[in-house]
Amino acid sequence: MAKRKTSGRRHPLASAALLILGLVVVGGIYTAVDQAADAQSPSHSEAALTAADGEALYMANCATCHGVDAVGTEYGPTLVGVGPASVNFQVMTGRMPMAFQGPQADQREVMFTQEQSDAIGEYLQTFGPGPERPDQEWLDTSATGVDVANGAELFRINCAMCHNVAGSGGALTEGKFAPNLHNIDADHIYEAMLTGPQNMPVFNDNNISPEEKRDVIAYLHYLDENPSAGGFSLGSLGPVSEGLFVWIFGLGSIVALTVWLTSRPN
């Protein structure tokens, strides 16, 4: 056993290593090409766009379902009077243009820049005005007078039945759902309350005032910034995830211990 003979035999893990190497190379090239392609497309955000640019974008991307006069077709609702707030929410969270027709528009990658989205919103105002995007004042949760506790209470009363008290989301009828509300921009939360996208009701300013909307945003951001005091939150889904955990990991590890304790060395 002085020297190992260099026979033609491969290491047993050689094929696995080769496979992993191949996957890494292919994946790396794909990612590089994909990013390069992405970088080329929407980078012409030089000047502010006008309603005329919005019209061009609308005709190219929205009119198929919402109609050239924005009065809606059998595939999409009318957009007369929805306002820039609604456009900004739908477009900038990746819900519109819709990925596919279904019970509910799911989120996908955002297809437009902020300027393009605003231009579409401006164009739609020409059909009939709707709510504008919120003032920065109502998005600043560090302002004086912001009351997280009030926001939490409003959230429990108005939002938790669909979105869950910890904003973890929940099921609605017929395959629709209330999405989770973790790490969402303040303006999107505000606009969602203001315009009631998809199955969500509208919470107008008489119902929940702008100050109160700001409190709700502050509460949601508080949840994002402050991890659960008790350790890992298991998704904040309530007793179901706790029960699954205790059966699989709790009792699972205990059973492993019993097997270990009663095993005899052979």
Partner 1 sequence: MTTTRAARKTSFTSKASNYLDERTSISGAVSFLGRKIFPDHWSFMLGEVALYSFIAILISGVFLTFFFDPSMTHVTYEGSYVPLKGIGMSVAYHTALDISFEIRGGLLMRQVHHWAALLFVASIGLHMLRVFFTGAFRKPREINWVIGFLLFVLAMAEGFTGYSLPDDVLSGNGLAIINGMVKGIPIVGTWISYFLFGGLFPGTEIIPRLYSLHIMLLPAILIVVLGIHLVLIVVNKHTQFAGPGKTNKNVVGSPIMPTFAAKAGGFFFLVFGTIMLIASIFTINPIWNYGPYDPSPVSAGTQPDWYIGFADGALRLVPPGWETEWFGLTFTWAIIIPIIVMVGFLMLVAFYPFIEQWITGDKREHHLSDRPRNNPTRTAIGAAGVVFYAVMWAAASSDLMATHFHVNVFHVIYVLQAALIFGPIITYFITKRVALALQKKDREIVLHGYESGRIVRRPGGEYIEVHEPLDEYERYRLVTFETYEPTKERPNAQGRISAGVKIRGALSRWFFEDRITPVTQSELEASKHDH
Looking at 21, 171, 201, 207, which residue binds partner 1 (CB under 8 A)?
171
Residue 236 sits in the site that holds partner 1 (CB under 8 A): yes
Binding of residue 222 to partner 1 (CB under 8 A) = yes
Reported as half-sphere exposure (CB side, CA atoms, 13 A), residue 167 has a value of 19
Q: Does 251 contact partner 1 by CB under 8 A?
A: yes
Q: Which of residues 129-168 bind partner 1 (CB under 8 A)?
A: 147-149, 151-153, 156-157, 160-166, 168
Distances (CA, A) of 59 to 65, 66, 75, 121, 259: 10, 10, 15, 13, 67
Considering the complex, state which of residue 60 and residue 240 has its C-beta at the smaller distance from partner 1: 240
Yes or no: say if 197 and 89 are a contact pair by the CB < 8 Å rule. Answer: yes
Q: Which amino acid is at 150?
A: N
Residues 73-132 interacting with partner 1 (rule: CB under 8 A):
103
Residue 33 sits in the site that holds partner 1 (CB under 8 A): no
- Work out how close the CB of 71 gets to partner 1 at its nearest, in angstroms, rounded to a whole number: 30
- In the bound state with partner 1, the residue whose beta carbon lies nearer, of 41 and 173, is 173
Helix (H) or strand (E) holding 170: strand 170-171
Is 221 within 8 Å of 152 (Cβ atoms)? no
Helices 186-195 + 210-225 axis angle, to 10: 140
- State the Cα–Cα distance between residues 44 and 55, nearest whole angstrom: 17
161: tokens are 């039945």
Q: Single out the residue of 177, 184, 205, 211 in contact with partner 1 (rule: CB under 8 A).
A: 177
- Residues lying near partner 1 in the complex (CB under 8 A): 103, 147-149, 151-153, 156-157, 160-166, 168-175, 177-178, 219, 222, 228-234, 236-240, 242-247, 249-251, 253-255, 257-259, 261-262, 264
